Amino acid sequence: MRYFSYLSEDQELAAFYKPPVAFTNRSSREVLAHATGAALYTPATRHTIAEDILHQKHEGLVSMVLDLEDAVGDHQVEWAEESLLQQLFKLASYVEIGALPANRVPLLFIRVRSPEQLQRMILRLEERIIYITGFFFPKFTAQNGAAYFSILAEYNKQKTQDAPTLYGSPILESDRVIYVEHRRQTLHECKAILDHYQDYVLHVRIGATDFSSLFGVRRSVHHTVYDIIAIRDCIADIVNVFGRMDADYVISGPVWEYFSQDGRSESMRDERIERMARRYGLQPVTQADFGLVREVLLDKENGIVGKTIIHPSHIRIVQSLYTVTHEEYQDAVSIIDNHDGNRGVFKSEYSNKMNEIKPHLNWAKRILVKADVYGVLHEPENIHSRVAQPGQASYV
């Protein structure tokens, strides 16, 4: 897989100072953790999953989550498992007969309901499990976390040497995580489990929809999860525990649940957000898109990488916002190159900020990882002015 592979060669050259690199589910844990990007959720009961991937129905799709939990009714579980297995077997057959190149299979994840279902799906997938990058573990706590990861660890120890590592991604969304009297103890208990199985942890995901339901609230299309104070405070603690550089975890942001069917609804006006959007080659065209842009930008400011999405129209928006600007890249490269003990601070190449080597070193390292995965934009022109077609929304 490779981000923005739908661009022509000329468009890519025009848009990127440094184009994205290719990766597979055999790439390093660090790359995959950052590369999940816009993870498109789809119910495991969907009967066209394999065909949609074969025919590249969703242009730009890089990662997909096949949901056996909330997107499936409690009375549909057995049918959902059978349907999902059929789709994955069909997908594998397309690869085996040469109809679908292996490098066009997106990063696939399965969200399971329980450790028992995880064990069952691993066994029933058999050799087709090589097409799965990992599993999502909902409502992750100290009570169920060890069971999930012990199953995953056992598989990884017994798998064939050429099979890719199978990863787990805990979703923090339970009452014990957000209720203030339990939160910090629960987060540290969860972190102790993840530290024990760290090689198999891809990212830590935030489940803001479940958090919201516990308070009977729901953010509007005009607001972000950061505007809901109980969730904002919880995210702050999650970042504080799992986002430290010595923790070595990538945190992924919560789902954005709004979308526009016709793309004609009028956008809210906010010059600051519109300016930031244009910086990444975007101009929000709907209220739903505008809110999504704002929330992703706030995610990024807090060190969060990756976004759960529920509509294909979000794919390009989120991916475009994860591209690295030329200014960010130049700052990061300069900081890394000057990390030799001969100086401590210097003016940026854009002459608009101070770069302190020690305080900004960790930021620079993360920027370079994202630069490989999502590419580096040209400056000062943006992608919109270079590659958008007349009359089309200006997504990369």
> Using one digit for the tens of pLDDT, what is the confidence trace for 298-357?
999 999 999 999 999 899 999 999 999 999 999 999 999 999 888 899 888 888 899 999
392: closest CA among 5, 11, 10, 3? 11
Question: What pLDDT digit, counting tens, does each position of 20-63 carry?
Answer: 999 999 999 999 999 999 999 999 999 999 999 999 999 999 99
Determine the Cα–Cα distance for residues 226 and 295; give it in Å rounded to an integer.
8
What is the pTM (predicted TM-score) of this model?
0.91
pLDDT for residue 394 is more than 80: no
Q: Is the peptide bond before 312 cis (omega within 30 degrees of 0)?
A: no
The fold adopted by the segment(s) 23-322 is TIM Barrel (3.20.20)
Task: Name the token pair of 123.
Answer: 């066994």
**In the prediction, which pLDDT does 298 show?**
95
Span 222-242, average pLDDT: 96
Task: Name the token pair of 288.
Answer: 């739903």
**In the prediction, which pLDDT does 346 show?**
87
**In the prediction, which pLDDT does 261 show?**
58
Q: Is the CB of residue 53 less than 8 Å from the CB of residue 62?
A: no
Task: List every span in the chain annotated with CATH 3.20.20.60.
Answer: 23-322
Longest CA–CA separation in the chain, Å: 66
**In the prediction, which pLDDT does 380 show?**
60
pLDDT-based confidence at 290, cuts 50/70/90?
Answer: confident
150: closest CA among 205, 196, 111? 196
* Secondary structure class of 69 (helix, strand, coil): coil
Q: Average model confidence (pLDDT) for the chain?
A: 90
CB atoms within 10 A of CB 181: 8
pLDDT for residue 281 is more than 80: no
44: closest CA among 79, 75, 14, 74? 79
Is the CA virtual torsion 57, 203, 197, 366 positive or negative?
positive
Question: What pLDDT digit, counting tens, does each position of 74-126 carry?
Answer: 899 999 999 999 999 999 999 999 999 999 999 999 999 999 999 999 999 99
